[in-house]
Structure 1
Amino acid sequence: MRELTKEDVLAAVRGGSVYASGGGGWVDHGLEIGGAALAIGKPKLVSVDELPDDAIVLTCTAIGAPAGTDWQMLGKDYIKAVELIMEQYEGRIVGVMTPQNGMSSSINGWLPAAALGLVVVDATGDIRAHPTGKMGSLGLASSLEYETIQAVVGGKPELGSYIELVVKGTPARTSNILRTASDMAGGFIAAARHPLPAKYIKEHAAIGGISIAIELGKAIIEAEQQGTEHVLQTICGHTGGKLLARGRITKKDVHYAGAFDLGTIDLEEADGRVVKLHVMNEYMAVDGPDGERLSTFPDVIATLSLETGRPVSVGHIEEGAEIGVFVIDRSLIPLSSSVKDPSVYPEVEQAMGIELLKYLGTPSGSGV
């Protein structure tokens, strides 16, 4: 157990921005929520092994599409979502975790933990960001035996879009309800879900996910003093990842639909070779010029600015930008039960119009 610091906040945002895979929130929001957590309390990061097997851990997250523009999630909304579930558990919830890393999602639970006297558990539902709650549900997405409880809070009262909602039922049904609530609240909403014993977390989560993001972030911060190319080399060297392509964004065709950002982004290299990134909130796949698959979720897939070395989200990618496509093969990262669950793929494949599941056992392509 250790107390989280403002250096950890910045490092979690920097490292989490790589694992965000083009989504995972916003840098400013992550710094704001992390700063608020340190201002009101002393959040502590603990290994899941430090908790009794029957200790209840709650997942804290935000649901929606990063390009949504009419949402509002305040710090108090994250806290309220956790409180709504704690009311059902009479003091048995001792910790919070995040379903994924990201620009802000690595820090999702820090503020409720600080405000409510909980610990932050060093585990993630997925090491990288993903578009659906089912992909971060620790292998429970298709379970008919587990009755979950999920809560969402957020929206703008002045527009009549503020919502507080608590639902119980199967993970699949309740997750779909929360996605609709997110859309109704303006495109993004704070959430808490899936109270589970620590024993289950140990067996099904990506253990150490927060520390992995923080350590990468510290390496990036140190490398920034030596320029962009050193940052890119540091990200590759620290993670074992590689740059699949470097070039200019020639086409962005991404649209908002039902609390998702969907579409494709084309990058042209200096030799005219074009690679295509497939987007559903995050980068889910990369295809080569002949349509061959170069990388597929759950690989980490990120776009890095060739001017600054920093990750660029789907919402901030612009045509004409000089970008590197960075990938960490799934064999190099801890995988949770969520991303190995075949039931989480069909709805994403249908929405995107591409295949994902058949590539699950295939390593990503060669770097350039």
Structure 2
Amino acid sequence: MRILNHDDVLAALTGGSIYACGGGGFYEHGLAMGHAAITINKVKLVSLDELNDDDIVITAAAIGAPGGTTDWEMTGRDYIKAAQLLIDHYDGKIVGFVAGQNGKSSSTNGWLPAAALDLVVVDALGDIRAHPSGKFGNFGLTSDEHYETIEAASGGKRETGSHLELVIKGKPEKTSEVLRKASDLSGGFFASARNPLSVKFLKKNAVVGGYTLAIELGEAVLKAQPDGPEAVLAAILKQTGGEIVGKGKVTENTVAYSEEGTYDVGYINVETKKGHDLKAYAANEFMALERDGERVGNYPDVITIFDAKTMQPLTTSEISVGQKVIVFRIDRSKFPLSAGVFERANYPEIEAALGIDIYKYVFSK
């Protein structure tokens, strides 16, 4: 067991911001939730091996389009309320929380409800990197005919009448779609708790140790920061085994919120040298990367764009035309994958939103 502290909050979100892949929530929101958690109680991070195989764990996640283009409100009590709603409607004992992904705020998603309800944070994730739909963080359950989930959510501005609270039961493929639509109605981003699962199941299907990977990456970045951006880049490359795909100037950013699909959808075009371009396709997060029309990166690879001057990982809404950037990638072979990556049913709506193939490149190697 590890008692998380303020340094861990900063490290988790610093590393999580790289795994955010252009989305993954909001950094300041993650800081606020993480610091609040460790202020009200001890936040206990435990490994799966410290729990019994039949212990039940749930996923804490934020749902919606994280580009900052919608009128959303999600407070700490929404994370707690969503978890409490699920616990109240579940016939069994919950021992702790995992997160669906790493990200700018999602790396601390489970910390506050764990602290408030005196439960634990479990060192496992639905995905090492951020992804556009909860289906990818469902541990391969999207099309499981036998598993019925329970999901709860809370969020939205009360003063405008957009606040929603709901509990839903059903097959993950359908409940995920309902919560995304509800997120849109609440303002575009809200808190959820979902998927009661056994520790035994998570050992086989989750990214085991996913929180620790983000914290260790963040620690390496924070240690290098006093020596400047070049030292930060060197630390990231060493820690992750990633690569620089290209450096250049942003010439287009078409990413915008699509109410029809409830995603931030579009692409970032980077001119790396005259007549040559990198195009990063985003559905909330970067899902594909092309060089002069040739696919050179594809989910579940980590695809991140950094500001070239500061080495800050950028969300899609922070990328401006004319900005000098570094396009970075970690090949999927460099980190553990969850079962959700392998499910074909997770991909069609994202492919339709972007108008490109993704799944056929997932296992092309």
**TM over 0.5, shorter chain:** yes
Distance of 1:360 and 1:274 partners within structure 2: 22
CA distance in 2 between partners of 1:20 and 1:340 (Å) = 20
How far off its partner does 1:91 sit? 5.9
AA partner of residue 262 (structure 1)? V
Q: Aligned residue for 1:320?
A: 322
What are the superposed Cα offsets for residues 309-359 of structure 1, whole Å, 9 maximum, x if unpaired? 110111211111111111000001100000011111111111111111111
Q: CA deviation at 1:90?
A: 5.5
**Are 2:363 and 1:361 equivalent residues in the alignment?**
yes
One-letter code of the match for 1:266?
A: N
The aligned counterpart of 2:216 is 215
Greater mean alpha carbon deviation, residues 64-73 or residues 128-137: 64-73
Q: 1:132-176 CA deviation, whole Å, 9 max, x = no partner?
A: 111110000111211100011000011100000100000011110
Partner residue in 2 for 1:341? 343
Unaligned runs of 5+ in 1: 364-368
CA distance in 2, matches of 1:81, 1:100: 17
**C-alpha distance in 1, partners of 2:90/2:172?**
18
State the match for 1:165 in structure 2.
166
Of residues 289, 295, 300, the one that matches 1:286 is 289
- Partner of 2:191 in structure 1? 190
Quote the Cα distance in structure 2 between the aligned partners of 1:69 and 1:135. 23
Quick one: distance in 2 between partners of 1:175 and 1:89? 18
The 10-residue stretch of structure 1 (164-173 or 268-277) with the greater mean CA deviation from structure 2 = 268-277
1:45 aligned to 2:45?
A: yes
AA paired with 2:190?
A: I
Q: Which residue is equivalent to 1:366?
A: none
Shift of 1:233: 1.3
1:278-309 Cα shifts (integer Å, max 9, x gaps): 010000000111x1100000000000111111
Q: Hey, what does 1:71 align to over in structure 2?
A: 72
What one-letter code is carried by the residue in structure 1 that aligns with 2:256? H
Kindly state the Cα deviation for residue 269 of structure 1 after the two structures are TM-superposed.
1.2
User: Using the alignment, how far apart are the partners of 2:161 and 2:94 within structure 1?
Assistant: 32
Structure 2: distance between partners of 1:12 and 1:24: 13
Q: TM-score, normalised by structure 2?
A: 0.98
CA distance in 1, matches of 2:156, 2:54: 34
Q: Report the counterpart of residue 14 of structure 1 in structure 2.
A: 14
1:29 corresponds in structure 2 to: 29
Q: CA RMSD in A?
A: 1.0
* Cα pair distance change 1:268/1:353, threshold 3 Å: same
Give CA-to-partner distance per residue, 1:221-280, whole Å, 9 cap, x none.
011011111111111111000010100100111121132100111000134411111010
Give the C-alpha shift of residue 49 in structure 1. Answer: 1.2
Quote the sequence identity (%). Answer: 52
- State the SS of the aligned residue for 2:159: helix
- What stretches of structure 2 of length at least 5 have no aligned partner? none
Question: How far, CA to CA, are the matches of 1:171 and 1:18 in structure 2?
Answer: 28
Superposed CA deviations along residues 172-220 of structure 1, whole A, max 9, x for unmatched, are 1111000010000001010000011111111100111000000000000
Which piece of structure 1 moves more, 301-310 or 213-222? 301-310
Given the two structures, how large is their TM-score scaled by the length of structure 1?
0.97
Note the C-alpha offset of 1:361: 1.9
3-state secondary structure, aligned to 2:113? helix
Secondary structure of 2:175 counterpart? helix
Amino acid at match of 1:358: K
- Find the counterpart in structure 1 of residue 97 from structure 2: 96
Quote the Cα distance in structure 1 between the aligned partners of 2:2 and 2:269: 43
* Cross-structure match for 1:234: 235
**Is 1:262 the equivalent of 2:271?**
no
Partners in 2 of 1:32 and 1:306 — Cα distance?
27
Partner amino acid, structure 2, of 1:311: P
Letter in 2 for 1:356: I
Quote the residue 1:205 is aligned against.
206
Aligned length in residues: 362
Q: For residues 165 and 310 of structure 1, what CA distance do their matches in structure 2 show?
A: 36
Q: Which amino acid aligns with 2:350?
A: V
CA shift for structure 1 position 39: 1.0
Amino acid at match of 1:362: S
Q: Secondary structure at the match of 1:3?
A: strand
Query: Who is 1:147 aligned against?
Result: 148
Question: Residue in 1 aligned with 2:129?
Answer: 128
